[in-house]
Structure 1
Amino acid sequence: MGHREDLLDGAVRCIYEKGYARTTARDVVEASGTNLGSIGYHYGGMTNLMAAALEKAVEAWGLSLAQAIMSAGAEELSGVERFERYWEHMINSVHTQRPLLMATFDAFLEAEKSEAVKTMLIEGMRDARRLWAQVFHGIDAAIEPAKADLVGSFYQALVSGVLTQVLLDPDDAPTAQDLTAAVNIVAESFREKIR
């Protein structure tokens, strides 16, 4: 590996160990075995490096969630079973991914000051929406982009909301079964006439 990759991997480790906002250039240099000049040379500065590191780490987490419902035997699952498998995996992953997930909140604050961070977050959410539409409903964003974005936005809103609840109040956060029950209640109310 070269310095560019070493820096990126070192920054990802720092996100898990120190968090996004508390990681310094010296921390990354120590974790990567590189030098301070490499950060500017390869990434143009710490902000860009940390944005790239967060993007890499969140993408890996998101793909692991998708794998939970695309793994062997998943094609045999009903829609409800796929839905619950995903949420069980996502909720359980908060325990091992907590530092990363908390780092995303730091990045939201940084997005107000950094166009690079804002762009990374926006592109990541767009990619996630398309992934959720494909994974849950087989909607191909290349064929049906509007439908994929619409359905994916619903799932992205759920991910953000459930994630926040699990991080802040894990004892009272919804379970996968709670989410299924809630979706059923909402769907049923859509079929009823408003009185």
Structure 2
Amino acid sequence: MGNREDLLAGARRCLEEKGWARTSVRDISAASGGVSMAAIGYHFGSREALLTAALIEAIDEWGNRLGRTLGAFGEAGNSPRERYEAMWAAIIGSFSSERMLWLATLEALLQAEHSQELRHYLAGGQAQGRRGLAAVLCGTSEDEVDEAIARTLGAAQMALFTGVMTQWLTDPDQAPTAAEVVGGLHALTSLVEDRASSGPDGNSA
């Protein structure tokens, strides 16, 4: 690997072991096998840009694994609801197996309050995340997801993802299961459809 790839690998190790806030450029240099700290600026521009790139790379790899798992589940002839619940089971499982990765995303969001540069990087990552989640749900590639689907289906799924993630990272014993997430979404959909079919006075339109 070259210096750029070594730095990305080192940054990922630091995120997994130390988290976002406690990772310094010196830590990344050491974890990358001694690549100079100056190389971070040369290849990425800043510590924040490098850590963001490493975070996005890690989440992309996780998303690809999730997509392969769901693809195999769909080929087994399961219903869309069963497939969606299986997706949530895999997501929730990652809150334990990939705990440091998801904690790092929350740390990055907090740090972005004090860094316009970091906020810019994370905004790009969120746009990519919306498209990626929509692609997983639609069983297609990200290139085939149009902007309207990314900003509706993808954005709604990301909102659910972030909310369930914070519950699991805070209190896993009380956090919702995959079945409860799907059941709650079904109940919400039914409520919205019922309200939409009624007039402002609560009667049928």
When the two structures are superposed, what TM-score results if normalisation uses the length of structure 2?
0.85
Q: In structure 2, what is the equivalent of residue 54 of structure 1?
A: 55
Which letter does structure 2 place at the counterpart of 1:11? A
Q: In structure 1, what is the equivalent of residue 39 of structure 2?
A: 38
Which letter does structure 1 place at the counterpart of 2:115? S
Count, aligned residues = 194
Offset of 1:190 from its aligned partner? 2.8
1:91-121: CA deviation from partner (whole Å, max 9, x where unpaired) = 0111111111111111112222333422222
- Contact 2:135 2:145 survives alignment (8 Å): no
* 1:101 is the counterpart of 2:102: yes
Gaps of 5+ in 2: none
CA distance in 1, matches of 2:146, 2:29: 44
CA distance in 2, matches of 1:191, 1:37: 57
Give SS of 1:132's match: helix
- Contact 1:82 1:136 survives alignment (8 Å): no
Which structure 2 residues correspond to residues 12-31 of structure 1 after superposition, within 5 A? Answer: 12-31=12-31
- Contact 1:79 1:136 survives alignment (8 Å): no
CA distance in 1, matches of 2:9, 2:131: 26
Identity %: 40
Distance 1:39 1:145, change over 3 A: closer
When the two structures are superposed, what TM-score results if normalisation uses the length of structure 1?
0.89
Offset of 1:138 from its aligned partner? 5.2
Q: In structure 2, what is the equivalent of residue 133 of structure 1?
A: 134
Gaps of 5+ in 1: none
Distance 1:50 1:147, change over 3 A: closer
Distance 1:121 1:65, change over 3 A: farther
Q: In structure 2, what is the equivalent of residue 67 of structure 1?
A: 68
Q: In structure 2, what is the equivalent of residue 87 of structure 1?
A: 88
Match of 2:184 among 174, 182, 185: 182
4+ runs deviating over 6 angstroms: none
Offset of 1:171 from its aligned partner? 0.4
